[in-house]
Amino acid sequence: MTKGSTVPKGNVKIFGGFSFPKKITVVSNKFRSLAKYNSDTQKIETTVKPLSDFQKKLINTVWLPRTLRNPILVYGLMWFALFGSMESSTVSLVRLISTVSFFTLGFWFISKRIAKWHGAEHMTIEAYLTEGDTSTEGIKKYSPINKRCGGRFLLPWLMVVVVFNFLNLGNWFITLGIVTILELDRFIPMHKVPVFRQASYLLQKYITTKEPNERELLTAQKAMLLLIEAHEELEQKQQKSL
């Protein structure tokens, strides 16, 4: 299956993907697959694991707030709400400088080390969601820039932080505003708001995604194929048990 195949559109419910240097993960409503490029052997190593019952409930419970479906986001928001405030102007200045430095270095690292992997992830998931296509030819037809990217939240979240700080509201209010934006995306998709869509487009175009090379493309493809295989095997087992 290394060359890819065309599978029925919607056969696997894709929850999302994650990209790191030389690693791409694709998550469905039942499994998490990982494809890792080994620079020494120049081969792609793959693993797939079923989600825990708890993880399945988080992903598949429609009424559950999106915020609660991402433990990392929950942890970050709780930390910000509880410990983010600083009274001293000197300490606040240090926090501002640290924050700017953190994001500057973070964006530089993403642009240099992750952007091509991120772009391959976007292209592969979009090819499958749109056409059920996992062939390299089909994947290459799609853009690394994707409207579903989490970058669509960057500008609205920054606006919440700036406005609420200007109004001298506490971190609990800022946290509530960030969560509200995330939940509103269900009803008013951020990518349909022109200014947010354009901000996400520019962020992806110049920082977070790039056109992938063959190794990034094949790594993302492997992750998707492995996920599909896991679903097919599960379905076969369920049919045999009937």
3-state secondary structure 111-138: HHHHHHHHHHHHHHHHHHHHHCECCHHH
Give mean pLDDT in consecutive 10-residue pieces for the chain, a chain of 242 residues: 45 89 95 96 96 81 62 61 56 67 85 96 95 94 93 87 78 81 86 92 95 97 95 88 76
Contact 26, 17 (CB under 8 A): yes
Main-chain dihedrals φ then ψ at residue 16, nearest 5 degrees: 165, -175
User: What does the pLDDT read at residue 48?
Assistant: 97
Residue 19 has φ and ψ, to the nearest 5°, of -125, 135
Half-sphere exposure of 29 (CA within 13 A, CB side): 9
Opening angle at CA 241, ends 237 and 242, nearest 5: 125
Q: What is the pLDDT of residue 57?
A: 77
pLDDT at position 9 is 53
pLDDT confidence of residue 5: 43
pLDDT at 65: 67
C-alpha span between 131 and 127 (Å, rounded)? 6
Predicted confidence at residue 117, as pLDDT, reads 97
Q: Whole-model pTM?
A: 0.82
